[in-house]
Amino acid sequence: MAEIRLQRLRLPKRCTDLAGHTFGRLTAKEYVGRDRQKLSLWKCECECGDTHITRASSLRSGAVRSCGCLQRDIRKITSTKHGLSVNPEGNKPNLYQTWSNMKSRCFNSSTPKFRNHGGRGITVCMEWIHSYENFHVWATNNGYESGLTLERKDNNGDYSPSNCIWTSYKIQNNNKRDNHTITYHGVTRTISGWSEVLGIKSNTLHSRLTVYGWNIAKALTLPVRRRVLKCA
Protein backbone atom coordinates (compact mmCIF):
# COMPACT_ATOMS: atom_id res chain seq x y z
CA MET A 1 0.00 0.00 0.00
CA ALA A 2 1.43 3.37 -1.03
CA GLU A 3 2.21 5.74 1.83
CA ILE A 4 -0.26 8.59 2.14
CA ARG A 5 1.71 11.82 2.06
CA LEU A 6 0.46 15.05 3.61
CA GLN A 7 0.40 18.02 1.27
CA ARG A 8 3.50 20.11 1.79
CA LEU A 9 2.49 23.45 3.26
CA ARG A 10 4.29 26.76 3.26
CA LEU A 11 5.52 27.79 6.70
CA PRO A 12 3.80 31.00 7.87
CA LYS A 13 6.14 33.97 8.26
CA ARG A 14 5.53 34.30 12.01
CA CYS A 15 6.35 30.63 12.71
CA THR A 16 9.85 29.50 13.58
CA ASP A 17 11.36 27.06 11.11
CA LEU A 18 12.17 23.90 13.07
CA ALA A 19 13.17 21.74 10.10
CA GLY A 20 16.34 19.81 10.86
CA HIS A 21 16.30 20.61 14.58
CA THR A 22 16.38 17.73 17.05
CA PHE A 23 14.31 17.58 20.22
CA GLY A 24 15.11 14.56 22.33
CA ARG A 25 14.67 11.59 19.98
CA LEU A 26 12.65 13.59 17.45
CA THR A 27 13.97 15.48 14.44
CA ALA A 28 11.55 17.96 12.89
CA LYS A 29 11.12 17.33 9.14
CA GLU A 30 8.33 19.51 7.82
CA TYR A 31 5.51 21.86 8.79
CA VAL A 32 2.14 20.20 8.22
CA GLY A 33 -0.40 22.83 9.30
CA ARG A 34 -2.25 23.79 12.46
CA ASP A 35 -4.47 21.96 14.93
CA ARG A 36 -7.91 23.05 16.18
CA GLN A 37 -6.29 25.49 18.58
CA LYS A 38 -4.43 27.00 15.59
CA LEU A 39 -1.07 25.82 16.94
CA SER A 40 1.68 24.81 14.49
CA LEU A 41 2.16 21.10 13.81
CA TRP A 42 5.38 19.44 12.70
CA LYS A 43 6.00 16.02 11.24
CA CYS A 44 9.00 14.49 13.00
CA GLU A 45 11.16 11.43 12.59
CA CYS A 46 11.99 9.49 15.75
CA GLU A 47 15.27 7.68 16.41
CA CYS A 48 13.34 4.40 16.47
CA GLY A 49 12.27 4.97 12.86
CA ASP A 50 8.64 5.94 13.44
CA THR A 51 7.13 9.28 12.43
CA HIS A 52 5.22 11.49 14.82
CA ILE A 53 3.21 14.68 14.37
CA THR A 54 3.17 17.08 17.30
CA ARG A 55 2.94 20.75 18.20
CA ALA A 56 5.95 23.01 17.77
CA SER A 57 5.36 24.34 21.28
CA SER A 58 5.55 20.81 22.70
CA LEU A 59 8.87 20.23 20.96
CA ARG A 60 10.41 23.48 22.16
CA SER A 61 9.21 23.03 25.77
CA GLY A 62 10.45 19.44 25.95
CA ALA A 63 6.96 18.08 26.69
CA VAL A 64 7.30 15.71 23.73
CA ARG A 65 10.69 14.07 23.15
CA SER A 66 9.80 10.91 21.22
CA CYS A 67 7.03 9.12 19.39
CA GLY A 68 6.22 7.37 22.66
CA CYS A 69 9.13 4.93 22.67
CA LEU A 70 11.06 6.91 25.29
CA GLN A 71 8.27 6.55 27.86
CA ARG A 72 7.98 2.84 27.12
CA ASP A 73 11.72 2.35 27.58
CA ILE A 74 11.71 4.28 30.86
CA ARG A 75 8.83 2.20 32.24
CA LYS A 76 10.56 -1.01 31.19
CA ILE A 77 13.83 -0.03 32.87
CA THR A 78 12.05 1.15 36.03
CA SER A 79 9.98 -2.02 36.44
CA THR A 80 12.73 -4.52 35.69
CA LYS A 81 15.95 -2.90 36.94
CA HIS A 82 16.04 -5.07 40.08
CA GLY A 83 15.02 -8.25 38.24
CA LEU A 84 12.22 -8.99 40.71
CA SER A 85 9.07 -7.71 39.00
CA VAL A 86 9.13 -10.24 36.15
CA ASN A 87 9.39 -14.01 36.55
CA PRO A 88 11.29 -16.32 34.14
CA GLU A 89 8.14 -16.71 32.02
CA GLY A 90 7.95 -12.96 31.52
CA ASN A 91 4.87 -12.49 33.74
CA LYS A 92 4.48 -10.38 36.85
CA PRO A 93 4.66 -12.59 39.98
CA ASN A 94 1.85 -12.63 42.56
CA LEU A 95 3.94 -10.66 45.06
CA TYR A 96 4.43 -7.83 42.57
CA GLN A 97 0.67 -7.78 41.96
CA THR A 98 0.12 -7.57 45.73
CA TRP A 99 2.41 -4.52 45.88
CA SER A 100 0.65 -2.88 42.92
CA ASN A 101 -2.82 -3.60 44.34
CA MET A 102 -1.79 -2.20 47.74
CA LYS A 103 -0.83 1.12 46.14
CA SER A 104 -3.92 1.15 43.96
CA ARG A 105 -6.22 0.78 46.97
CA CYS A 106 -4.58 3.80 48.58
CA PHE A 107 -4.06 6.16 45.65
CA ASN A 108 -6.36 5.23 42.76
CA SER A 109 -9.79 6.71 43.46
CA SER A 110 -11.34 4.81 40.53
CA THR A 111 -10.80 1.40 42.14
CA PRO A 112 -13.70 -0.09 44.16
CA LYS A 113 -11.57 -0.61 47.29
CA PHE A 114 -10.30 2.99 47.45
CA ARG A 115 -13.28 4.05 49.60
CA ASN A 116 -12.18 1.82 52.48
CA HIS A 117 -8.48 2.58 52.11
CA GLY A 118 -7.25 5.80 50.51
CA GLY A 119 -10.69 7.30 51.04
CA ARG A 120 -10.23 6.81 54.79
CA GLY A 121 -6.73 8.26 54.78
CA ILE A 122 -4.88 4.93 54.62
CA THR A 123 -1.57 5.29 52.78
CA VAL A 124 1.66 3.38 52.05
CA CYS A 125 4.90 4.07 53.94
CA MET A 126 7.74 5.83 52.12
CA GLU A 127 9.88 2.69 52.37
CA TRP A 128 7.48 0.78 50.12
CA ILE A 129 5.63 3.29 48.00
CA HIS A 130 8.41 3.79 45.43
CA SER A 131 10.38 0.58 45.91
CA TYR A 132 9.10 -2.87 45.09
CA GLU A 133 12.56 -4.12 45.96
CA ASN A 134 12.15 -3.00 49.60
CA PHE A 135 8.70 -4.56 49.77
CA HIS A 136 10.02 -7.80 48.27
CA VAL A 137 12.83 -8.03 50.83
CA TRP A 138 10.43 -7.43 53.72
CA ALA A 139 7.93 -9.97 52.38
CA THR A 140 10.45 -12.78 51.92
CA ASN A 141 11.90 -12.14 55.39
CA ASN A 142 8.49 -12.13 57.07
CA GLY A 143 6.82 -15.35 56.05
CA TYR A 144 5.47 -14.66 52.57
CA GLU A 145 4.30 -17.74 50.68
CA SER A 146 2.22 -18.09 47.56
CA GLY A 147 -1.47 -18.03 48.48
CA LEU A 148 -1.09 -15.71 51.47
CA THR A 149 -2.54 -12.21 51.53
CA LEU A 150 -1.29 -8.94 53.00
CA GLU A 151 -3.18 -7.75 56.09
CA ARG A 152 -2.80 -4.74 58.38
CA LYS A 153 -2.74 -5.44 62.12
CA ASP A 154 -4.43 -2.12 62.83
CA ASN A 155 -7.18 -1.68 60.27
CA ASN A 156 -6.96 2.09 60.71
CA GLY A 157 -3.18 2.14 60.22
CA ASP A 158 -1.08 2.50 57.08
CA TYR A 159 0.67 -0.17 55.05
CA SER A 160 4.11 -0.44 56.66
CA PRO A 161 6.51 -3.15 57.91
CA SER A 162 5.39 -2.68 61.52
CA ASN A 163 1.67 -2.86 60.71
CA CYS A 164 1.51 -5.68 58.15
CA ILE A 165 1.53 -9.47 58.31
CA TRP A 166 0.94 -12.31 55.89
CA THR A 167 -2.18 -14.39 56.49
CA SER A 168 -4.56 -16.73 54.72
CA TYR A 169 -7.50 -15.32 52.81
CA LYS A 170 -9.91 -17.03 55.21
CA ILE A 171 -8.36 -15.44 58.29
CA GLN A 172 -8.24 -12.07 56.60
CA ASN A 173 -11.95 -12.27 55.81
CA ASN A 174 -12.65 -13.01 59.48
CA ASN A 175 -10.72 -9.87 60.46
CA LYS A 176 -12.46 -7.43 58.10
CA ARG A 177 -13.89 -4.46 59.98
CA ASP A 178 -17.33 -4.97 58.38
CA ASN A 179 -17.53 -8.69 59.24
CA HIS A 180 -20.49 -9.79 61.39
CA THR A 181 -19.38 -10.68 64.92
CA ILE A 182 -21.47 -12.45 67.58
CA THR A 183 -20.92 -12.38 71.34
CA TYR A 184 -22.29 -15.31 73.34
CA HIS A 185 -21.47 -16.04 77.00
CA GLY A 186 -18.74 -13.40 76.86
CA VAL A 187 -17.01 -14.86 73.80
CA THR A 188 -16.90 -12.87 70.56
CA ARG A 189 -16.35 -14.56 67.22
CA THR A 190 -17.28 -13.98 63.61
CA ILE A 191 -19.93 -16.16 62.02
CA SER A 192 -17.11 -18.11 60.37
CA GLY A 193 -15.44 -18.54 63.74
CA TRP A 194 -18.61 -19.85 65.41
CA SER A 195 -19.16 -22.10 62.41
CA GLU A 196 -15.81 -23.82 62.94
CA VAL A 197 -16.39 -24.23 66.69
CA LEU A 198 -19.97 -25.51 66.46
CA GLY A 199 -19.75 -27.47 63.24
CA ILE A 200 -22.68 -25.54 61.76
CA LYS A 201 -22.32 -24.05 58.28
CA SER A 202 -21.81 -20.29 58.10
CA ASN A 203 -24.74 -19.92 55.71
CA THR A 204 -27.00 -21.71 58.21
CA LEU A 205 -25.98 -19.43 61.08
CA HIS A 206 -26.37 -16.34 58.92
CA SER A 207 -29.88 -17.41 57.83
CA ARG A 208 -30.95 -18.18 61.40
CA LEU A 209 -29.94 -14.72 62.57
CA THR A 210 -30.87 -12.50 59.62
CA VAL A 211 -33.56 -14.37 57.69
CA TYR A 212 -35.47 -16.18 60.44
CA GLY A 213 -34.74 -13.66 63.18
CA TRP A 214 -33.64 -16.20 65.80
CA ASN A 215 -31.95 -14.96 68.95
CA ILE A 216 -28.25 -15.69 69.37
CA ALA A 217 -28.68 -18.49 71.91
CA LYS A 218 -31.13 -20.38 69.73
CA ALA A 219 -29.10 -19.80 66.55
CA LEU A 220 -25.92 -21.15 68.12
CA THR A 221 -27.29 -24.02 70.20
CA LEU A 222 -30.10 -25.64 68.23
CA PRO A 223 -28.70 -28.71 66.45
CA VAL A 224 -29.07 -28.86 62.70
CA ARG A 225 -31.81 -31.25 61.68
CA ARG A 226 -30.38 -34.02 59.55
CA ARG A 227 -32.45 -35.00 56.57
CA VAL A 228 -33.40 -38.66 56.39
CA LEU A 229 -33.36 -40.05 52.90
CA LYS A 230 -36.28 -42.34 52.16
CA CYS A 231 -35.64 -45.39 50.08
CA ALA A 232 -38.11 -46.13 47.30
CA 132 to chain centre: 13
Q: 109 and 166 share a domain?
A: yes
Q: 77 and 128 share a domain?
A: no
Residue 204's domain comprises: 181-221
| Residue where a domain terminates, one of 29, 54, 81 | 81
Asked if residue 71 is part of any domain, the answer here is yes
**Better-scored residue on pLDDT, 229 or 70:** 70
- Work out how many domains the chain is built from and give that number: 3
pLDDT tens by residue, 79-133: 555 555 554 444 557 888 899 999 999 988 888 888 888 888 889 999 998 888 8
Does pLDDT of 170 surpass 90? no
Q: 188 and 140 share a domain?
A: no
Does pLDDT of 207 surpass 90? no
| Residue where a domain terminates, one of 58, 81, 104 | 81
Q: What is the pTM of this model?
A: 0.41
| Residue where a domain terminates, one of 81, 103, 122 | 81
pLDDT tens by residue, 36-66: 888 889 999 999 999 999 999 889 888 888 9
Q: 32 and 59 share a domain?
A: yes
> Over the range 44-65, which residues count as b (16 or more CB within 10 Å of their CB) and which as e?
bbbeeeeebebbbebbeeeebb
Asked if residue 74 is part of any domain, the answer here is yes
Asked if residue 1 is part of any domain, the answer here is no
Does pLDDT of 8 surpass 80? no
pLDDT of residue 80: 52
DSSP 28-79: EEEEEEE-TT--EEEEEEETTS-EEEEEHHHHHHTS--SSSHHHHHHHHHHH
Asked if residue 231 is part of any domain, the answer here is no
Asked if residue 135 is part of any domain, the answer here is yes
